[in-house]
Structure 1
Amino acid sequence: MNRLETIKKVLDEKKAEDIEVIDLTDKDYLVDYVVIATTLNSKHGFALLNYLKTELKPLGEEFLRVDDDDEWTICDLGDMFINLMSESARKKYSLEEFLSQLDNKEV
């Protein structure tokens, strides 16, 4: 199972909603992939972060940075961001729309 499949599996098993993986390998952005999932509440977001760490760290995954508050947790894995967002934050910031408007990389 690859990293993205593992992340999606953990999020799905732990009741995250609307899990989306966005491939940005051909876009001009900081990372190659962005995972977005909706949390049920702030405690759920915190729990999801802990489940991800528990499952991924033994596989050699390194969480370079984690920023979190009650509405949004972002995990920087180097080549990937995982966004755990409340439903209201997801609507407000509409990350999917922003990422869909990125330019392709210059060749």
Structure 2
Amino acid sequence: MENRINNIVKILDEKKGENIEVFDVRDKNYMVDFVVVATTLNSKHAFSLQDELKIQLKPLGEEFLRVDEDDNWTVVDLGDIMVHLISENYREKYHLDDFLAEIAKGRQ
């Protein structure tokens, strides 16, 4: 699992994803075990990040169960890992990091 998370973070970092955070929510009654959040520069950047994840992770056996996207927020469901590619404005507006941090601490 650690290797999978590291691969995701590395890809996002290499492609200029910003403020990358990983939340361990195992055993916290959440829908996945890990959540990765990265800020995107714009909608084209989000698409580029999503595309690069597919290009690099599919050959490693990663299965993309679902991808939901719009101009401000893309969610990639890998089964036990969820990746959020989110605009800076939406990240500030929805406080996703605070929400996930609370879950990770077991307070949600």
TM-score (norm 1): 0.92
Matched, 1:35 2:21: no
Please identify runs of 4+ aligned residues in structure 1 that moved more than 6 A: none
- Could you say which residue in structure 2 is the equivalent of 1:73? 74
Matched, 1:15 2:20: no
Secondary structure at 2:56 match in 1: helix
Offset at residue 101 of structure 1 (A): 2.6
Amino acid at match of 2:71: D
Larger helix share, 1 or 2: 2
Alpha carbon RMSD of aligned pairs, Å? 1.3
User: Please, which runs of 5 or more residues in structure 2 have no aligned partner?
Assistant: none
Matched, 1:100 2:98: no
- Once residues 100 and 47 of structure 1 are traced to their aligned partners in structure 2, the CA distance between those partners, rounded to angstroms, is 27
Aligned length: 104
Amino acid at match of 1:8: V
Offset at residue 100 of structure 1 (A): 2.5
- Could you say which residue in structure 1 is the equivalent of 2:89? 88
- Once residues 5 and 102 of structure 2 are traced to their aligned partners in structure 1, the CA distance between those partners, rounded to angstroms, is 22
Deviations 1:57-88 (A, max 9, x none): 00000000000000000000000100000000
TM-score (norm 2): 0.92
